[in-house]
RNA sequence: GCCGAAGUGGUGGAAUGGUAGACACGCGCGCCUCAAAAGCGUGUGGGGCAACCCGUGCGGGUUCGAGUCCCGCCUUCGGCACCA
C-alpha cells in the first residue's frame, strides 16, 4: 500500500519527461470554462424532458470531505452529466444541512459560535467539490441556517399546526444523559444515543410533536409505488408496524371503572388468565389495593428510574407485581387478577393487555414465574380440538394463528380467523369493544432544547394560550447569543434571553413569551428538495409551477442510515403538502439508491474491549505499508503510543496494534482527502476509481494501489488523443 | 429470534437461462534501460505433456442447457428486536 504523496504532475507542461498527462492544467481549464459559461445552470420548461438527480445534502463538518463522501457525489454527478447528454433538462443542486446537533457539537468543541463556523465550512466543502469537477447548479445553492430558508420551516410548522398535525404535550421523552437533550425515537439505538452512545432515560417535558401517525396508512401504501431498495421499504414497513386487532374494555371489580386493552388475538380472549398494565398506566393508582400499594409504588419507581437499555436488556427476567385488583373478562365473566409489569409498554396500544399465557410467549413466561394458570383455548388442529391439552402440562405457549378454538363457549371449534371475526362482531354489537388498527410508529418529536435550530413559531400567552405566530411575522429569527451551550435543566439556551422570550401576544396584544424550543434538524431536510425548484422565491416556500415541473426527484442518492429517519419524514411532509393542495407529487423520490460505505484500513488497540481506533499520529514510527504487512503475517503486534493525559506531560506507553476495516472518518485516523488524491492522480482518475471500484451499493475497502488502473487508463487516452 | 442483502480466480469485480471469470489490480515472462522507475508487449481459475477433465458457499431439483430458476442448509454483512 503506497503512502507517499509525491505529486505526479507538477503542472504538466513543465514536466520534461512528458510521462503524465497534464491533468492539473486540463482540469483547471475546463472547470473554469464550465463555470464561466454556466453550463450547469438549469431553467424550468423547454421541450426536453426533465430529470432531477439529488444527492442528500450534507452537514458540512469541520473534518472536511474524505474520499468516502465521493461514493455519493461522484456517481450522482456522473448520472447528472449522462442525463444531460442524453437530452434531459437535468437538475442537480446542492446545499448545506447546517442546523442541528452535529454542527452545534462541532462548534462547542472548537469553542466558537456555530453561526460563524457554518459559512466557512460550507465554503470549504464547495471548494473540495469543485476541485472534483462535480457539476452542481450553484445558483441554486441553499443553506438551511439562512433565515430565507428556515422561515419556511416555520411556515411548514404552522401549516401542520393548522391541519391539526402539530401539537404540544407533556411527554416522557428520550433524554440523553451526556448531551442534556431529548432525542427522537429514531435517534435512539439499543437504548443509547446515536451520536455519543450515552445512556438514554425517560424524562417528562413539554414537547412539540408532529402527528405522523395519522399518515401510517398513506406512508405504507405509497411504498408500493416507488422504486426504492427492498431493504429500505421493509424497514419502513416494520417501523410503521401496522397491526389489526381489537380494543375492548375490561371492568375492574368493585366499581373501579374499566381498563381498555388492545389485542391482535381476540380469538384467544377466553384464555385470558390475568391483565397487565404498564407501570406508567394512569389507572394503576386508583385500582391498587392498600395491601399492595407499597409494593406497586416501589415497582413503578424502579421502572421509571431504569434506562431503556436496562428495561429491554436481553434475557431479562419478566417481572411484575400484583395490584390487588381483579378484572372481569367480558366474554365469560371470569375473574382475573390485574398486574403491573414493565414488559407492557406504555406507548403502544392502550398500555394495557389481556394476558393469554397459553398462546403468548411473554405472558407464558410471566404466568410460570408467578404461578398463574395457563388455560388452553387454541388447539393445533381439529383432531387436537377433540381433546385439547391441559394448561398445566404446557411446556411453551402455542402461538400459531392457524389453530382451532376450544373452551371458548359459543365460539369454540372454529378456525382462529373465523373466531376472531365473530368475537369482534359480538363485541361491537354488545358495545364492549371495537376493531382497531394500531401502529408501532410514534409521533415525530420535533422539539429540541437547543440553540442551533429553527425557532418554533409559537407564542405562549397567559390569556390566549398557545398562539401561532402569524405568517406575515415570519421569520422568527434565531438571535445571536453569547452562550449557546445547553443548560443542565433541560431548557433551551433561548430561555435565558429575555429580549427573545418576552413579546406580545399576536392575538390580544398582552404580554407573552416565545416558545424557546427549536426544531430538530430533520425538519429542515424534510422538504429541501422542494426548495431547490425555486430557491430564491421570497413569497412562498416554492414556486408552484417550478416545483410541479421538477418533482418528484427522479434519482435520490444517499446513505442507508436514513431508512426510517429522514426518508420517512420527507415522505410525510410531501404527503401533507400534497393533501393541502400545495404540490402535485405525493412522494418525494421516484427512485432511491443507497451508496455503499468506503472503509479504511485502521490501526486499532488490540487490547481495548471495543478495539478502539488509534490515530496514526499517536503511534511512534507509524508506517502504514510496513505495519499492515506485519499485521497480515503475525497478527496483533506490540508498538508504542504517545499518551497525553490531561494536565500531565505526554509520555509513551506500549500498545498492541491490529488493523481493521472501518468506515472512513477523520476521527478514526483512516481517512484520505480527495484533495491529496486529486493532486497526485487528477480528479478524473479519482472519479473513475470511485465509479469503477465496485457497484454503487457495495462496500469498498479503500486502497490507493487501485488508483493506478484509472490513472494509467487516462494516460493512455491522452497518448492516443495527442 | 425476525427481516433484508450477498457468497464467482491471489484481489476488486463481469456475465437478457446459452463459450463462466469482461475490465482492472496484483503477479510471471519479454522489450526498452548501464540499472531502476515509468511505459510497451505478452501470459495469468485449478489439474494434465496433451487430447481433455474439474470448477460460481454446501446438498438436492427443474431444463437440451443453471453463477442465473425452484427446494433445503451453511456462512458473512446490515437492520429490527418485549409492539400484545
Q: What is the pLDDT of residues A118-165, one digit of tens each?
A: 899 999 999 999 888 888 999 999 999 999 999 999 999 999 999 999
Alpha-carbon span A716 to A231, nearest angstrom:
41
* SS3 (DSSP) at A233: helix
Contact of A480 with A115, CB cutoff 8 Å: yes
The residue among A421, A249, A269 whose CA lies nearest residue A355 is A269
Is the C-beta atom of A145 closer than 7 angstroms to strand B? Answer: no
Alpha-carbon span A467 to A375, nearest angstrom:
55
**CA R_g for chain A:** 30
Ranges A13-27, A294-308, A372-386, A397-411: which has the least confidence: A13-27
Alpha carbon A512 to chain centroid, angstroms: 34
Distance A4 CA to B46 C1' (A): 37
Ranges A72-81, A403-412, A611-620: which has the least confidence: A611-620
Average pLDDT over residues A71-90: 91
pLDDT of residue A12: 38
Distance A634 CA to B28 C1' (A): 27
Distance A227 CA to B80 C1' (A): 22
pLDDT of residue A108: 79
Alpha-carbon span A78 to A66, nearest angstrom:
19
Q: Residue A498 region, left (φ>0) first, then alpha (ψ -120 to 50), else beta?
A: alpha
Distance A696 CA to B23 C1' (A): 16
pLDDT of residue A42: 84
Distance A701 CA to B5 C1' (A): 18
| ipTM (interface predicted TM) | 0.87
pLDDT of residue A712: 83
More confident call, A482 vs A493: A493
Distances (CA, A) of A55 to A11, A84, A162, A172, A666: 32, 16, 32, 35, 21
pLDDT of residue A364: 93
Average pLDDT over residues A639-655: 85
Contact positions of strand B to protein Cβ (< 7 A): 3-5, 12-14, 24-26, 38-40, 77-84
Q: Which residues of A262-275 are buried (b: 16+ CB within 10 A; e: fewer)?
A: bbebbbbbbbbbbb
Alpha carbon A711 to chain centroid, angstroms: 38
Residue nearest to nucleotide B40 (CA to C1'): A716
Distance A273 CA to B83 C1' (A): 20
Distance A66 CA to B84 C1' (A): 47
Is the C-beta atom of A314 closer than 7 angstroms to strand B? Answer: yes
More confident call, A706 vs A152: A152
Is the C-beta atom of A297 closer than 7 angstroms to strand B? Answer: no
The residue among A404, A402, A401 whose CA lies nearest residue A389 is A404
Distance A603 CA to B11 C1' (A): 21
Is the C-beta atom of A625 closer than 7 angstroms to strand B? Answer: no
Which of residues 72 to 111 on A have a Cβ less than 7 angstroms from any strand B atom?
none
Alpha-carbon span A579 to A160, nearest angstrom:
11
Distances (CA, A) of A650 to A91, A109, A608, A653: 53, 21, 20, 10
Residue nearest to nucleotide B77 (CA to C1'): A699
* SS3 (DSSP) at A604: strand
More confident call, A26 vs A455: A455
- Residue identified by cell 400484583 is A322
pLDDT of residue A19: 56
A381 forms beta bridges with none
Average pLDDT over residues A611-638: 82
Average pLDDT over residues A433-442: 92
Ranges A20-29, A178-187, A257-266, A677-686: which has the least confidence: A178-187
Contact of A12 with A55, CB cutoff 8 Å: no
- Residue identified by cell 376493531 is A435
Average pLDDT over residues A333-337: 95
Contact of A317 with A383, CB cutoff 8 Å: no
Average pLDDT over residues A212-240: 90
pLDDT at residue A10 is higher than 50: no
pLDDT at residue A17 is higher than 60: no
Is the C-beta atom of A188 closer than 7 angstroms to strand B? Answer: no
Contact of A527 with A541, CB cutoff 8 Å: yes
A571: cell is 415522505
Alpha-carbon span A189 to A647, nearest angstrom:
34
Alpha-carbon span A487 to A495, nearest angstrom:
10
Which DSSP category does A208 fall into? E
Distance A78 CA to B8 C1' (A): 28
Which of residues 400 to 429 on A have a Cβ less than 7 angstroms from any strand B atom?
none
Nearest-nucleotide field for A231 (CA, C1')? B4
Residue nearest to nucleotide B37 (CA to C1'): A19
Is the C-beta atom of A6 closer than 7 angstroms to strand B? Answer: no
The residue among A567, A553, A565, A559 whose CA lies nearest residue A595 is A559
pLDDT band at A424 (very low <50, low <70, confident <90, very high): very high
Is the C-beta atom of A349 closer than 7 angstroms to strand B? Answer: yes
Strand A142-143 relative to strand A95-96: parallel, antiparallel, unpaired? parallel
Nearest-nucleotide field for A312 (CA, C1')? B82
Is the C-beta atom of A693 closer than 7 angstroms to strand B? Answer: yes
pLDDT at residue A459 is higher than 90: yes
Which DSSP category does A69 fall into? G
Is the C-beta atom of A311 closer than 7 angstroms to strand B? Answer: yes
Is the C-beta atom of A345 closer than 7 angstroms to strand B? Answer: yes
A474: cell is 415570519
Distance A699 CA to B55 C1' (A): 27
Distances (CA, A) of A48 to A51, A52, A232, A500, A720: 9, 13, 32, 49, 35
Is the C-beta atom of A305 closer than 7 angstroms to strand B? Answer: no
pLDDT at residue A7 is higher than 70: no
More confident call, A107 vs A95: A95
Is the C-beta atom of A577 closer than 7 angstroms to strand B? Answer: no
The DSSP H or E segment spanning A590 is none
Distance A225 CA to B8 C1' (A): 34
Contact of A269 with A423, CB cutoff 8 Å: yes
The residue among A663, A607, A613 whose CA lies nearest residue A635 is A607
Alpha-carbon span A513 to A461, nearest angstrom:
7
A210 forms beta bridges with A166, A444
**Residues comprising chain A, all counted:** 722
Is the C-beta atom of A694 closer than 7 angstroms to strand B? Answer: yes
Ranges A440-444, A479-483, A530-534: which has the least confidence: A479-483
Is the C-beta atom of A629 closer than 7 angstroms to strand B? Answer: no
A720: cell is 492516443
| Percentage of residues of chain A with pLDDT beyond 70 | 94
Distance A693 CA to B25 C1' (A): 10
Calculated CA dihedral for residues A410, A412, A413, A414, nearest 10 degrees: 80
pLDDT at residue A593 is higher than 50: yes
pLDDT of residue A110: 81
Task: Using CB atoms within 10 Å of the CB of residue A586, give its burial: 0 to 12 exposed, 13 to 18 middle, 19+ buried.
Answer: middle
Alpha carbon A73 to chain centroid, angstroms: 21
Distance A265 CA to B82 C1' (A): 17
A592 forms beta bridges with A556
Helices A683-692 and A708-721, axial angle in degrees (round to 10): 120
pLDDT at residue A350 is higher than 70: yes
Distance A672 CA to B36 C1' (A): 29
pLDDT at residue A314 is higher than 80: no
Q: Tell me the residue ranges of DSSP E strands in A495-597.
A: 502-504, 511-514, 518-519, 555-558, 592-594
pLDDT of residue A34: 82
Amino acid at each position: 500500500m503506497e503512502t507517499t504523496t509525491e505529486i505526479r504532475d507538477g503542472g504538466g507542461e513543465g514536466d520534461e519527461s512528458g510521462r503524465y498527462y497534464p491533468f492539473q492544467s486540463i482540469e483547471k481549464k475546463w472547470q473554469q470554462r464550465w463555470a464561466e459559461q454556466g453550463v450547469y445552470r438549469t431553467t424550468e420548461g423547454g421541450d426536453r424532458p426533465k430529470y432531477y438527480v439529488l444527492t442528500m445534502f450534507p452537514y458540512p463538518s469541520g473534518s472536511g470531505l474524505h474520499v468516502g463522501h465521493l461514493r455519493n457525489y461522484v456517481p450522482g454527478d456522473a448520472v447528472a452529466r449522462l442525463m444531460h447528454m442524453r437530452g434531459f433538462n437535468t437538475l442537480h443542486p446542492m446545499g448545506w444541512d447546517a442546523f442541528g446537533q452535529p454542527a452545534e457539537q462541532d462548534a462547542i468543541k472548537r469553542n466558537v459560535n456555530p453561526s460563524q463556523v457554518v459559512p466557512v465550512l460550507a465554503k470549504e466543502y464547495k471548494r473540495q467539490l469543485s476541485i472534483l469537477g462535480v457539476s452542481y447548479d450553484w445558483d441554486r445553492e441553499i443553506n438551511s441556517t439562512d433565515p430565507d430558508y428556515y422561515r419556511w420551516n416555520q411556515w411548514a410548522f404552522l401549516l401542520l399546526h393548522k391541519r391539526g398535525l402539530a401539537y404540544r404535550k407533556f411527554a416522557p421523552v428520550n433524554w440523553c444523559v451526556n448531551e442534556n437533550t431529548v432525542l427522537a425515537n429514531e435517534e435512539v439505538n439499543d437504548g443509547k444515543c446515536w451520536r455519543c452512545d450515552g445512556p438514554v432515560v425517560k424524562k417528562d417535558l413539554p414537547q412539540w410533536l408532529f402527528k405522523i401517525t395519522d399518515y401510517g396508512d398513506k406512508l405504507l401504501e405509497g411504498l408500493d409505488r416507488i422504486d426504492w431498495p427492498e431493504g429500505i421499504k421493509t424497514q419502513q414497513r416494520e417501523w410503521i408496524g401496522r397491526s389489526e386487532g381489537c380494543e375492548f374494555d375490561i371492568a375492574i371489580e368493585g366499581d373501579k371503572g374499566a381498563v381498555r386493552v388492545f389485542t391482535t388475538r381476540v380469538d384467544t380472549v377466553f384464555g385470558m388468565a390475568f391483565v397487565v398494565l404498564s407501570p406508567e398506566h394512569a389507572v394503576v393508582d386508583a385500582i391498587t389495593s392498600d395491601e399492595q400499594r407499597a409494593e406497586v409504588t416501589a415497582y413503578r419507581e424502579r421502572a421509571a428510574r431504569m434506562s431503556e437499555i436496562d428495561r429491554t436488556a436481553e434475557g431479562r427476567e419478566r417481572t411484575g407485581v400484583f395490584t390487588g385488583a381483579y378484572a372481569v373478562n367480558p366474554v365469560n365473566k371470569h375473574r382475573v387478577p390485574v398486574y403491573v409489569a414493565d414488559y407492557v409498554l406504555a406507548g403502544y396500544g392502550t398500555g394495557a393487555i389481556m394476558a393469554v399465557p397459553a398462546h403468548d410467549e411473554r405472558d407464558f413466561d410471566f404466568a410460570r414465574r408467578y404461578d398463574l394458570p395457563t388455560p388452553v383455548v387454541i388447539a393445533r388442529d381439529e383432531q387436537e380440538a377433540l381433546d385439547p391439552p391441559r394448561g398445566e402440562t404446557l411446556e411453551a405457549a402455542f402461538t400459531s394463528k392457524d389453530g382451532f378454538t376450544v373452551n371458548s363457549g359459543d365460539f369454540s371449534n372454529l378456525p382462529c380467523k373465523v373466531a376472531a371475526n365473530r368475537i369482534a362482531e359480538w363485541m361491537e354489537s354488545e358495545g364492549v369493544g371495537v376493531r382497531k388498527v394500531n401502529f408501532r410508529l410514534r409521533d415525530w418529536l420535533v422539539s429540541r432544547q437547543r440553540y442551533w435550530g429553527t425557532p418554533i413559531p409559537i407564542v405562549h400567552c397567559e390569556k390566549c394560550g398557545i398562539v401561532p405566530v402569524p405568517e406575515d411575522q415570519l421569520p422568527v429569527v434565531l438571535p445571536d447569543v453569547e452562550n449557546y451551550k445547553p443548560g443542565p435543566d433541560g431548557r433551551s439556551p433561548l430561555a435565558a434571553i429575555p429580549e427573545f422570550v418576552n413579546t406580545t401576544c399576536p392575538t390580544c396584544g398582552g404580554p407573552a413569551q416565545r416558545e424557546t424550543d427549536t426544531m430538530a434538524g430533520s425538519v429542515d431536510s424534510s422538504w429541501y428538495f422542494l426548495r431547490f425548484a425555486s430557491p430564491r422565491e421570497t413569497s412562498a416556500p416554492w414556486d408552484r409551477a417550478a416545483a410541479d415541473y421538477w418533482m418528484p426527484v427522479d434519482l435520490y442518492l444517499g446513505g442507508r442510515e436514513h431508512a426510517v429517519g429522514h426518508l420517512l419524514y420527507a415522505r410525510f411532509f410531501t404527503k401533507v403538502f400534497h393533501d393541502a393542495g400545495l404540490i402535485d407529487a405525493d412522494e418525494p423520490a421516484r427512485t432511491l439508491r443507497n451508496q455503499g460505505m468506503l472503509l479504511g484500513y485502521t490501526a486499532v488497540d488490540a487490547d481495548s474491549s471495543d478495539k478502539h481506533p488509534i490515530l496514526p499520529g499517536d503511534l511512534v514510527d507509524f508506517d502504514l505499508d510496513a505495519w499492515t504487512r506485519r499485521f497480515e503475517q503475525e497478527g496483533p503486534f506490540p508498538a508504542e503510543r504517545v499518551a497525553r493525559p490531561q494536565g500531565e506531560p505526554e509520555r509513551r506507553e506500549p500498545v498492541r496494534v491490529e488493523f481493521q476495516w472501518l468506515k472512513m472518518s477523520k476521527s478514526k485516523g483512516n481517512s484520505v482527502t480527495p484533495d491529496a488524491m486529486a493532486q497526485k492522480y487528477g480528479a478524473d482518475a479519482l472519479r473513475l476509481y470511485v465509479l469503477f471500484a465496485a457497484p454503487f451499493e457495495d462496500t469498498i475497502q479503500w486502497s490507493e494501489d487501485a488508483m493506478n488502473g484509472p490513472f494509467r487508463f487516462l494516460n493512455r487516452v491522452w497518448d492516443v488523443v495527442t
